[in-house]
Structure formats: structure tokens, C-alpha cells
Structure 1
Amino acid sequence: MPSDTATCALSLPRWRSLSADETDCHLSLVLEDTPLVRLRLERGDDLNVHLQYTCPERPQQALWAACYWLFSRDPGCQRLCWHLAQVPEAALASGLLVADEQAGRYRCERTLFWQLPQPWLGESLSGVYPQQMQISAGKRHPRRAPKPRGEVYRRFDARLGAWISLRTLEIDHDLERFNRWQNNPRVLSFWQEGGSLEQHRDYLSKLEADPHTLTLIGCFDDQPFAYFEAYWAKEDRIAPFYAADDYDRGIHMLVGEQTHRGPHKVASWLSALVHYLFLDDPRTQRVVAEPRADNAKMIGYMHDQCFHCEKEFDFPHKRAALMILGRERFFERCRLM
């Protein structure tokens, strides 16, 4: 955190830039030209936050924005201790704040904060899809919710200074791009899905009709750069190779644009993809992947994002590494900013 007075800005999902004046001891935030919140900061084992002013029309936004600012500006900060004169009912109900044993003191935990669905998911459903078990293709699994359409996730990555977003693939709009990416020799060597436009239209149409797979396009600053498949592991070919839970999600990943390769970009999009899947359904406890066992670079990137390699196993078409990331581990060690 800066020791001298500074004025800077941080972009927020679906809001304009959040501006701040901050020192080691004070923080004032302005949102959309309106003073939002003013704080006195006291540093110790935890960061103690004393509320001096909050916008009366936006009290919940003020608390959320202050937590976002303080966590984003200091990735090492794990907990904020808020000192409030009034009980923050809405913040307690949402999980933004947790009551402390000491009266008038409330905690914001980093691990809880990043699990709040808003505003990362935008217009998300108000609750989880109800569970009803069914059997398809000989596999017993929960009935899956209808697939979303359009943008499903957006976050500003302060390290890159860019927006990372995920939207659903639209075949008519994305077919040529998908075809070009799959026929790239670098991609072809791992995916082995090269082919014509019509072959790829058929491939994507089958996935669109499959309730267990969601096809996504990754964007930096709204420019497409990657293709992802998110699948429910219980109904997938991976299920026989480990004890898949009902709400485990799996991922296939393809970076199509050369300019968006590299470890700093992978850290941004892989954390965003996993973040989205854990937010999409709070019952999801693990995200899994099965890259080729000889894809050392991708496996290394996944280790950097706290995945671990459970084992190697044989698919009919490849020797694979079973990579697993648990929900608790992700939110305890997440490097989201």
C-alpha cells in the first residue's frame, strides 16, 4: 500500500472506474463522480477499517467497493476488520461481512469475498438449480440447469490492466475463428481436431445439444483469444478414472491467438475460468482437467494455479495427467485481483 497520498483508479465489473485518495491511514473512494466511502485505516496483524462516511444511497456498494479496493491493492491481505456503529444486516446476510466476538467489529475474509457471485457473474440466477437425479448413458447424475447465453463472467485484472471475460460460443459468429484455431499446427498437435468448416460446425452443434458441456470464448478487452469447454465430470469420459462428485466440473483449454500466450496471460484466464465455475454452482467442490501427460508447459501452468496432479492414466487416444483443484484450496490461495 502506498505511504504517500495517491490518486488512482481501479476498474470494476459493470461499473465505471473507482477512484481513490489513499494514504497508509486513510482511504476515500469515489464512484461515478459520487463520494462513496471514507475510511480510517489502522494497521496491525489485520487491517482495521474504521468507517467515517458512507454514501446513504449506496451503503452496500460502499462496503463491497472498499473491500474490493483493499484486497486488490494488497494481494497479501487476508482479512479486514471493520469497526461499525450499526449492524450491517445486508452485508452479514450475503457473507460479505462476518460478525466478530467483539461487539461492533466485523470481518471480511478474502476467501469469502471472492466467492460472492456479484458482480463477476452479472445477471446470475438468484439461487442454485434444484437437484433431481437421473440416469443418462448408464450414468447417474443430477439434472443440469439450462445453459446460459451471452457473457457469463467479467473481471478486471489489475496485473494486466485488462478485462478478462467469458461468453458462450455462438456457432454462426465463432465458427470461422474456431476453425482457424483448431487448424493451427500448435493447437492441432494437442487437440487433434483439425478439419473443415462443416466438420467443425457438426462438432460444435453436438456440444451445443449436449447438456453436460458448455462451450465458451475467452476475451481480453472483449477481443476473443481462446476457446474453452466446461463439462460436468460425472457424465464425462473422465468419470471412470476417479471418484467424480455430482458437481465436479472439468475443463478443456485452447489459446488460439499467438499474442495472448505466455505465463502472465495463462494466470489471468485460468484463474478466471476456475473462478467462474466455482461461482456458477456453489456445490462444485473440484475442477478437474486431463491434459496430455507430455504437455509439461500446460501442467506447469496449472501447478502455478494450485492444481495438483493426482495421477496419470490412459485414455484410448492419449496418456493423460489428472489435474485437480479443490474449491477450498482455490479460494484460500487465489491470486485474483
Structure 2
Amino acid sequence: MSSDTASRTLSLPRWRSLSADETDCRLSLVLEDLPLVRLRLERGDDLNIHLEYLCSERPEQALWAACYWLFARDPGCQRLHWHLVEEPVAALASGLLVRAEQVGRYRCERSLFWQLPQPWLGDALAAVYPQQMQITAGKRHPLRAPKARGEVYRRFDARVGAWISLRTLEIDHDLERFNRWQNNPRVLNFWQEGGSLEQHRDYLSKLEVDPHALTLIGCFDDEPFAYFEAYWAKEDRIAPFYPVDDYDRGVHMLVGEETHRGPHKVASWLSALVHYLFLDDPRTQRVVAEPRADNAKMIGYMQDQCFYCEKEFDFPHKRAALMMLGREQFFERCKLV
């Protein structure tokens, strides 16, 4: 980070751009012409933060924005050490800050920060759905919450300089796009779900009423580029092949637009998809996938995002690789910016 004073901007979820005046030892943030926070920074083995000004109208938003800025500017930074005169009650309650041993000292841990559901989930955020077990088709599993509708996740990814968002698929709006993607020879080779518009309407209609599946459209800067199926693994065909937990989530992934292929784009959307699934229910401890075992490129992309291959196994229609990523591993090695 340069020692010269610089004015920079960083887009924030559901906010206008956040402006900063920043040096090696000072940081001032302004949001929508409102001064948010002014900090003195002490750099060494740890980053120590001394508060000089905090907006009284938006105190927690100001603390959150400062943590976000510092983590986003330095992906290698794992914790921030705050020195505060007054106890940050709301920030402690949310998990944004954690008390340190010394009086007036608090920590912000990167692994905790990215588990805070807001502002990433927006209006999709709801309380944790209560647990009641039930049996469906001989499988015992928790009753699932009603499925979300509309946009469920949004975040600005500085690595690609674009908004990455997820919204639920709407059949009438997305059918032709889905049909075109599935009939792409590259996609057809792995999904084997080519067909007519009516066949795909039937395919999506069945998933729409299936409580264990959620169909999603991935967008960069609100331009649709990918289709994802998120599913509860306990009720899925994958369940017999490993010791599945009640809240494990699985994913099927399809990038339909050629302009949004490539390792840098995969790193953005795959981390966003996994982030959403871990935030959607804090009881989810693992995200799993079962790509074809010979799909070395996709398996490699997943391993770059900390997935590991548990084993290979045989589905009736393919030889699959069981890919897994745990919550703790994802947030401890968090590459989000």
C-alpha cells in the first residue's frame, strides 16, 4: 500500500461508492457525502486501529465499512486490532468485533467478518428456520424453509471489478436462456440435459416445486451468465455416498455465456455461491458437489477455492468426484474481497 496520500473509491453492497483518503497511518471514509469514520493506523506485525472520529448517526455502519475497507484492500490481513474508549455494544453483539484481553481493545477477525449475513443477503435475510424432522421418500431430514424469491445475494468483487449477484430463476423470464445454455455443445457434454423449450419448462417446473432444490441465476453487473442448482444434500441422490449432515448443501454449476468463462471469473462466482450457501443457514457446515470425475478443469477450479476430493464414486449415469468444502476451512482461508 502506497505511503502517498490517495483518494480511492470502493463499491459496497447496496450502498453508493465509499470514498477514502488513505495513507499508511491515516484512513478517512466518506459515504454519500457523509463522513463516516477517521482512523489512525499503526502498522507492524498487527494492524492497530485508533478511532479519532465516528459518525454518531451510523456508528455500526461506520465500523463495518472500516473493517470492510481494510480487509478488501489487503486480502492477506486476517485480523484488525481496534482501540476504543467506549464499548461497541452493537458490534460485539453482531460478532463484528470481539473483546480482547486488554481493556479497551477489540478484534475484528476476517473469518468472522465474512460470516456476517448483511449486507450481502439484503432482503433475503430471515431468521434461522426452526428445525422439525420429517420423512420424505424414506429419507429423514429437516423440514425446509419456504424458498426465497428474487435476488438473494449481492457483492462487489474487486478482483473482477464487477458486482456478482444471485437471483432465483423465473421460468417465464429465463426459459429461453436456460434452453440455449443447455443446448450448447460444451454444456451438453457434461450436463446431458439438452432438449426443447417444453422439455426444459417441465424440467424447471419440477425443480420449482421441489423443496430440496433452489434454482439460481448468476449475474455479473446484472447480466445473467450462469445457472446454478443448490440442493439440500440430505434429501438428494448424493446422500447414500457419504455421511451426510442435516444441513449440508450441494451445487450443480453451469456457465452459459462464453464471455464469462475463465479462471478469474470462476474464482469470483464460485466463492460467491459458496459464501451465499454458508450465509443462508448458519447450520450448514459443508458444501458438496459431484462433477464428472473426468472434468479435470472444473475439479481444478474447485480445488483452487479450497474444495477437496473426498473420493470418486459411481452414479448410474456417471463416474463422479465427491468434492467437499467445510465452513471452517472456507472462512479461515477466505479469499473474498
Shift of 1:44: 1.8
Deviation at 1:2, TM superposition (A): 2.2
Question: Aligned-pair distance for 1:123?
Answer: 1.3
Aligned counterpart, 2:250: 250
CA distance in 1, matches of 2:125, 2:21: 35
Correspondence for 1:75: 75
Separation of aligned partners in 1, 2:124 and 2:149: 11
1:266 aligns with 266
Aligned: 1:30 with 2:27 = no
- Residue equivalent to 1:286: 286
C-alpha separation between the residues in 2 aligned to 1:135 and 1:156? 40
Letter in 2 for 1:91: A
Q: SS of the counterpart of 1:313?
A: strand
Q: What does residue 223 of structure 1 align with?
A: 223
Q: Could you tell me which residue of structure 2 aligns to residue 311 of structure 1?
A: 311
Aligned to 1:149: 149
Give the match for residue 175 of structure 2.
Answer: 175
Alignment of structure 1 residues 289-300 onto 2, 5 Å: 289-300=289-300
Secondary structure of residue in 1 paired with 2:310: strand
Distance 1:2 1:137 in 2: 60
Amino acid at match of 1:330: F
How far apart are the structure 1 equivalents of 2:225 and 2:155? 16
Judge conservation of contact 2:5–2:21 (CA < 8 Å) in 1. yes
SS in 2 for 1:123: helix
Equivalent AA in structure 1 for residue 37 of structure 2: V
Q: Indicate the SS of the match to 2:124.
A: coil
For 1:160 and 1:316, how far apart are their aligned partners in 2? 38
Amino acid of the structure 2 residue aligned with 1:221: D
Secondary structure at the aligned position of 1:40 is classed as: strand
Which segment is superposed worse, 116-125 or 297-306?
116-125
* TM-score of the pair, normalised by structure 2: 0.99
CA distance in structure 1 between the partners assigned to 2:133 and 2:175 by the alignment:
34
Report the secondary structure of 1:299's partner residue.
helix
**1 CA distance for matches of 2:120 and 2:2?**
27
Is 1:211 aligned to residue 211 of structure 2? yes
Q: Distance in 2 between matches of 1:249 and 1:126?
A: 18
Q: How does 1:102-113 map to 2 (within 5 A)?
A: 102-113=102-113
Displacement of 1:124 in angstroms is 3.4
Q: Give the Cα–Cα distance (whole angstroms) in 2 for the partners of residues 271 and 4 of structure 1.
A: 33
Distance of 1:6 and 1:322 partners within structure 2: 47
Report Cα offsets for 1:40-73 as digits up to 9, x if no partner.
Answer: 0001221100000011100000000000000000
CA deviation after TM superposition for structure 1 residue 125, in Å: 3.6
Instruction: For 1:89 and 1:197, locate their aligned partners in 2 and report how far apart those are by CA, in whole Å.
Output: 54
Q: Give the secondary-structure state (helix, strand or coil) at the position aligned to 2:122.
A: coil
Identity of aligned residues (%): 87
Give the gaps of 5 or more residues in structure 1: none
Contact kept, 8 Å, 2:124 with 2:148, in 1: the verdict is no
Task: Tell me by how many angstroms 1:147 deviates.
Answer: 0.2
Provide the C-alpha distance between the structure 1 equivalents of 2:31 and 2:125, rounded to a whole number of angstroms.
26
Which residue of 1 is the match for residue 202 of structure 2?
202
Q: CA deviation at 1:89?
A: 0.2
Inter-partner Cα distance in structure 2 for 1:202 and 1:76:
46
Deviation at 1:8, TM superposition (A): 0.6
Q: Aligned AA for 2:42?
A: E
- Give the Å deviation of 1:173: 0.1
Match of 1:54 in 2: 54
Give the match's secondary structure for 2:227: strand
Query: How far did residue 126 of structure 1 move?
Result: 4.1
Which residue is 1:327 aligned to? 327
SS at match of 2:244: coil
CA distance in structure 1 between the partners assigned to 2:180 and 2:124 by the alignment: 32
Supply the distance in 2 between the matched residues of 1:45 and 1:248 (Cα, whole angstroms): 37
Deviations 1:285-315 (A, max 9, x none): 0000000000000000000000000000000
What CA distance in whole angstroms lies between the structure 2 residues aligned with 1:126 and 1:142?
Answer: 17
Counterpart CA distance in 2 for 1:130 and 1:219 is 31
Q: Is residue 2:9 matched to residue 1:13?
A: no
Corresponding residue number in structure 1 for 2:66:
66
1:230-241 equivalences under 5 Å are 230-241=230-241
Structure 2: unaligned runs, 5 residues or longer: none
Aligned mates of 1:49, 1:194 — CA distance in 2: 55
Paired with 2:149 and 2:97, the residues of 1 have a C-alpha distance of 32
Give 1:3 deviation, angstroms.
1.4
Runs of 4 or more consecutive aligned structure 1 residues displaced over 4 Å after TM superposition: none
